Each structure stands twice: as C-alpha cells, then as structure tokens.
Structure 1
C-alpha cells in the first residue's frame, strides 16, 4: 500500500521563550543548518545563540501568531487536509523540527498499512539545510524503525511547469491589485559554503555570476541556480520587462559570507533611490511563516517606508491556493498509479 508524507520546516509550540529556545536548539544544532564540527556548533548555538536569540525570536513570533497557533503549522495543516481530499492514498503531515515529527508522520502511515511512502519536502529549491536534511532524517528513521518501508522522495520542483504556472498566476493576481514599479524575488539566504558543499562536481560552483547560467550537473543541487531559474521562468511567463524585477536573499545568521545581494540592503536602496511602489514575493516557501510575515511583511515594509518608499506589497505564499492544491495532489496521484 502506498502513502505520502508532506514535510515542512516546523515551528515552536508557542511564543514562550522556553518553547522558542527548544525549537531553535533543534533547528540550529542540525549539522546541515550550521555545518560546523559538533563541538564548535554546540559552543556557538548553546553557548551564544540560545542565550540571546530566543527572547528576540519569541517577540517576533508573537507579532505573527494566529489564534489557532503558528501560521506555518496552521497553513500546512489546511494544505494537508485539502490535499488528502484530492488524493487516492493516505497522506500525512510532518515537520522537520518540532511537532508533528517526521517519525510520527511515518508511524501514522505505517499504522494504516502503508509500505511505500512518497516523501515530499515542501521546498521548491534544493538546499542541504532544507530538502536534504528532511530526506536524510526520513531515511535514517525508516532504516531504524520501519525497515519494511520503501521511501521515494520528490526532487526539487523549482522548474516544474505546473508549479511555475501556479506560482506565476498567484503573483500576477497580486501585481494587478498593487501595480508596483518593481517586483523583488526574495529567497531565503544560505551561507556561500553550502553551495560549494552541495556541488557534486566539486569544481563548478564559483558564485561569480556565471556558473549558475552555465549548464552543469551541479545545478541539480545548486540552490542559487534554482532560485534564479524559478525567477527566470516566472518572469518569462508573466512577460516581465528587464529591470522591472530582481532577486535577493534574506535571513542571515553569523558573520560568514551569505548569498548576495541581501534583501534588507536591496529594499533600503530601492527606497533611498526613489522607488515608491515595491512588491516582494518569497518563492523559497510554499507556506507563509515568520520569514515571510514578520521579516518581509513587517520589518522590510517598515524599513522601505522609513527610507522614502510609499507602497509595499508582501505577496502571500501559495498557502491554500486551489491550483497549488490540485498540482500537489496531482503529483501524489501520478506517483501512486
């Protein structure tokens, strides 16, 4: 019997500093998120970050928390429910960090008699800190606890035609309302070293502006290339004019170089240089979360206005978009046939 497991990032159980600290501990101690040797990672995370960041992060979560709970969890649960209604096989939901855990999601499927599982990381672009850590942990859990189960994972879908179609339509509907002067594609940031670590050729990735445009087997696992490719295909679909859109990367941590340009710098520069109407879309996520609702929808908007901008539109993620639900359900049904 076949089944599917949707996996998203995760969220603290509440906005309490204690719960946020527990969540950040699990998240940042993942060796594919902070990829330093264990002792260094433990010193940085447990000795420094967890003594300062939880209080600040808890305050940020409080700004966006819904009466039903974490927006990411609530939206993921709604997505799960609607996908299940449109699929022929059992579908469960899990989070990489926090609850419900991947182990619990696997267990629910096994309890229904499932022996073949379609693992779906809810990230359009591949990254070792998102897609890879989900796949690695799921395989580890299957090997240890569910040896009778076979696992198949959905590859990054950043360039799948039906995904691009849905994403483009959702962006277009918002552009028609806000009519911005510029559209910024803001993707979650990564340390530059993550790109090089994911380079299967061990030589292609130069982060020099040209390697992402030069065909290579490295692109299958290159986050930066996949972000630019998503942008390129959406721009072509929407007939966006050269210069009317651009790409940036948000959410930095630590002092190491991260993928540039940085979203906060780009947005401030737009405002200071006279741009009055800006729209920002965040296609590294399929569900709105802290990074989209607070970092972009609140902090970036405030900064844009403070620096001279007038109208700022944070375009929602796909969330419960009906065509997105049909697309995701279609991938599951095609796999199950």
Structure 2
C-alpha cells in the first residue's frame, strides 16, 4: 500500500523561551545545519548561542504567534487536510524538528498498512540544511523502526512547470492594485561552503557569475543555481524587465561567508536608488513562517521605511492556496498510479 509523508521544518511548541531553547538545540545541533565537528558544534550551540538566542528568538516568535499556534504548523495542517481530501492514498504530516515528528508521521502511515512511502520534503530548492537532513533522518528511522518500508523521494521542484505557474500566479494576484517600483526575490541564505559540499563534481561550483548558468550535474543539488533558476522562470512568466526585479539571500549568521547579496543590506539601499514601493516574495518557503512573517513582513518592512521607503508588500507564500494544493495532489496521484 502507498502513502505520503509531507515534511516541513518545524516550530517550537510555544513562543516561550522554555520551548524555544530545546527546539533551537535540536535544530542547531543538526550536523547538516551547523556542519562542523560535534565538539565544536556543541561548544558553539550549547556554550554560546543557547545562552542568549532563546530569549531573542522567543520575542520574534511571540510577534507572529497566532491563537491556533505556530503559523508554519497551522498552515501546514490546513494544507495537509486539503491534500488528503484530493487524493486516495493516506497522507501524513511531519516536521523535521519539533512536532508532529517524522517518527510519528511514519508510524501513522505504518498503522494504515503503508509500505511504499512518497517522502515529500516541502522545499522547492535542495539544500543540506533542509532536504538532506530530512532524507538522512527518514532513512535512519526506516532502518530502525520500519524495515518493511520503501521510500520514493520527491526531488527539489524548483523548476517544475506547474509549481512555477502556481508561484507566478500567486505573485501576480497579490501584486494587483499595488503600484510597485521593484519586486525582490528573497531566498533563505546558506553558508557558501554548503554549496561546495553539495557539488557532486567537486569542481564546478565557483559561486561566481557564470557557474550557475553553465550546465552541470552539480545543479541537481546546487541550492544557489536552483534559486536563480526559480527566479528566472517566474520572471519569464510574469514578463518582468531586468530593472524591475532582483534576487537576494536572507537570514545569515555572523562568522562564515554566506550567499550574497544580503536581503537586509540591499533593501536598506533601495530608497536612495528611487525605489519607494517595494514588493518582496520568498520562494524558498512554501508556507509562511518566522523568516517570512517576522524577518520580512515586519523587520524588513520597518527598515525599508526607516531608510526612506514608502510602501512595502510582503507577498505570502503559497501556503494552502487551492491551485498549489491541486498541484501537490496531482504529483501524488501520478505517483500512486505507477
């Protein structure tokens, strides 16, 4: 019997520091997130970061928390229900960190007799700190608890025609009535070393102006290439001229070199360049979360206006948009027929 496990990032149980701290510990101690030796990672995370970060993160989560709970989890549950209503195979929802856990999601499917699982990381672009860590944990859980199961992995869907169409249509819909000077595509940032680590050729990725546009097997796992390709294809559908849009990377941490240009730096420069009305879309996420609601819709909005901007529009993620739900259901149904 076939079934599906939808997996997203996750969220603390509450926005209080007592719940934020264990969530951050689980997240930041993941070797695919902070990819340094264990002892150094423990020193950084438990010796330094977790001494202060839970308090500041708690304040950020409190700004976006809803009566129903974490926006990411609430939205994901709504999307899960809509997908399940559209398909004939069991669908479970899980988070890589926090609850509902991947173990509980796989157990839910196993209890229904599922032995063939479509493992669906809800990330358009492939990255170590998102896709890889899900696949590794899923395989560990399978070997330990569900040896009878087999997995079919949904690869990064950054360039799938129906996803691109859904994204372009959503952007177009939300831009209606907003006279924007510029559309910014802001993707979650990652350390540059992650790009080099995921280069299967060990030689292609230079993180320069050409490697992402030069065909290579490396592109199958190259987050940077996949982000630029998503933007390129959406822009083509929207018919945007070059001067009307740009792409940046957000959420960097101090210390290492992360992908550039940086979202906050570029947004703060825009008003002096004559960009007074800015729209921002965040295509690294399919569901709104801390990075889209607090970092962009609140903080970036505030900073843009502090630097002379006038109007700011944070375009929502696809969330539980019915057309996007139809697309996911179609992918599942096509797989289930085989």
Q: TM-score, normalised by structure 2?
A: 0.99
Separation of aligned partners in 1, 2:253 and 2:148: 40
Mapped contact 1:267–1:304 kept (Cα < 8 A): yes
- Quick check: 1:117–1:150 contact (8 Å CA) kept in 2? yes
Secondary structure of 1:178's partner?
Answer: coil
Distance 1:320 1:6 in 2: 13
Residue in 2 aligned with 1:193?
193
Any conservation in 2 of the 1:83–1:328 contact (CA below 8 Å)?
yes
What's the CA shift string for 1:104-138, capped at 9, x where partnerless?
Answer: 00000000000000000000000010011101110
The aligned counterpart of 1:41 is 41
**2:303 — aligned with what?**
303
SS in 2 for 1:243: helix
Residue 28, structure 1, aligned to residue 28, structure 2:
yes
Matched position secondary structure for 1:96: strand
Q: Aligned to 1:31, what secondary structure does the other structure show?
A: coil
Instruction: After the TM superposition, list the runs of 4 or more consecutive aligned residues in structure 1 that deviate by more than 2 angstroms.
Output: none
Cα distance between partner residues in 2 of 1:109 and 1:57: 33
CA apart distance, 1:254: 2.7
Aligned to 2:242, what secondary structure does the other structure show? Answer: coil
**1:218-270 deviation digits (Å, cap 9, x = unpaired):** 00000000000000000000101111000000001131000000000010010
Asked if 1:182 is matched to 2:216, the reply is no
Question: Which residue is equivalent to 2:221?
Answer: 221
Whole-angstrom distance in 1 between the partners of 2:83 and 2:182:
34
Runs (5+) with no aligned partner, structure 2: none
Structure-2 separation of matches of 1:268 and 1:220:
33
What secondary structure, in the 3-state scheme, does the structure 2 residue paired with 1:177 have? coil
Hey, what does 2:260 align to over in structure 1? 260
Map residues 40-189 of structure 1 onto 2, 5 A cutoff: 40-189=40-189
TM-superposed deviation, 1:80: 0.2
Distance across 2 between alignment mates of 1:167 and 1:293? 18
1:82 deviates by: 0.4
Mapped to 2, the partners of 1:40 and 1:8 lie a distance apart of 27
2:17 aligns with 17
Residue 273 of structure 1 deviates from its aligned partner by 2.4
Quote how far apart the aligned CAs of 1:96 are: 0.2
Alpha-carbon distance, 1:179 to partner: 2.3
User: Normalising by the residue count of structure 1, what TM-score does the alignment of the two structures yield?
Assistant: 0.99
Deviations 1:273-307 (A, max 9, x none): 23110000000000000000000000000000000
Report the 3-state secondary structure (helix = DSSP H, G, I; strand = E; otherwise coil) of the residue aligned with 1:327. helix
Q: Deviations over 1:19-45 (max 9, x none)?
A: 000100000000000000000000000
CA deviations over 1:61-107 (Å, ceiling 9, x no partner): 00000000000000000000000000110000000000010010000
Number of aligned residues:
337
Measured after TM superposition, the shift of residue 178 of structure 1 is 1.2
* Contact 1:10–1:96, Cα closer than 8 Å, also in 2: yes
**Distance across 2 between alignment mates of 1:101 and 1:304:** 37
Contact kept, 8 Å, 1:274 with 1:308, in 2: the verdict is no
